[in-house]
């Protein structure tokens, strides 16, 4: 395979590229006429336009998410698994006693709020004790007038002494 080299024309030479960098200094000329017929043929169908958005946004879902506090009788093996994992698999056909039915969001009983919107989805401040900016701060206890501070011993929080002493070990 051989390639032939042809002399470069003025349009493709380097000097022409350099001149195009400073074309903005010269007065503008009319853009070249655009042909009315397309130079290419479209082979695929045009993409469909997305559906127009409605003027009104969708109303948020304010319905309750109901959960059941249950009492399930299990074997000692499943009780050990449930204590460790926090969950377990029940067997098919097992009867579950419902202790309470309440909303997962607002934590209110089914009987009280069955026809209302979920308060937690509207404003969740009732679950955190009200508005935190106006809530009273905790009071630091003051020591009696005749009290004096006696320094205690050093508490070992790391190592085997801490584990044996129960500092870093979870309570049983």
Mean pLDDT within 48-68: 75
Q: What is the pTM of this model?
A: 0.40
pLDDT digits (tens, 9 = 90+) for 72-126: 899 999 999 999 999 998 888 888 999 999 998 888 899 998 888 888 888 776 6
What are the domain boundaries of the chain?
66-128
Predicted confidence at residue 32, as pLDDT, reads: 63
* CB 72 within 8 Å of CB 93: no
Cα-Cα-Cα-Cα dihedral sign, residues 117, 118, 124, 127: positive
Specify the higher pLDDT residue, 85 or 163: 85
Q: Is 4 helix (H, G, I), strand (E, B) or coil?
A: coil
- Residue 102 bridge partners (DSSP): 67, 109
Mean pLDDT of the chain: 75
Dist CA 165 CA 147 (whole Å): 29
């Amino acid at each position: 395979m051989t390639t032939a080299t042809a002399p470069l024309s003025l349009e493709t030479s380097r000097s022409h590229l350099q001149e195009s960098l400073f074309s903005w200094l010269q007065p503008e000329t009319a853009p070249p006429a655009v042909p009315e017929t397309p130079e290419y043929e479209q082979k695929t169908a045009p993409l469909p336009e997305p559906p127009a958005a409605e003027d009104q946004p969708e109303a948020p879902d304010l319905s309750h998410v109901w959960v059941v506090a249950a009492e399930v009788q299990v074997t000692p093996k499943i009780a050990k698994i449930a204590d460790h994992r926090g969950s377990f698999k029940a067997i098919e056909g097992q009867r579950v006693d419902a202790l309470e039915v309440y909303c997962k969001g607002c934590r209110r009983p089914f009987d009280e709020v069955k026809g209302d919107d979920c308060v937690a989805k509207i404003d969740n401040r009732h679950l955190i004790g009200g508005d935190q900016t106006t809530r009273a701060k905790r009071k630091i206890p003051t020591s009696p007038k005749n009290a004096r501070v006696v320094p205690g011993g050093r508490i070992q929080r790391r190592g085997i002494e801490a584990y044996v002493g129960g500092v870093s070990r979870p309570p049983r």
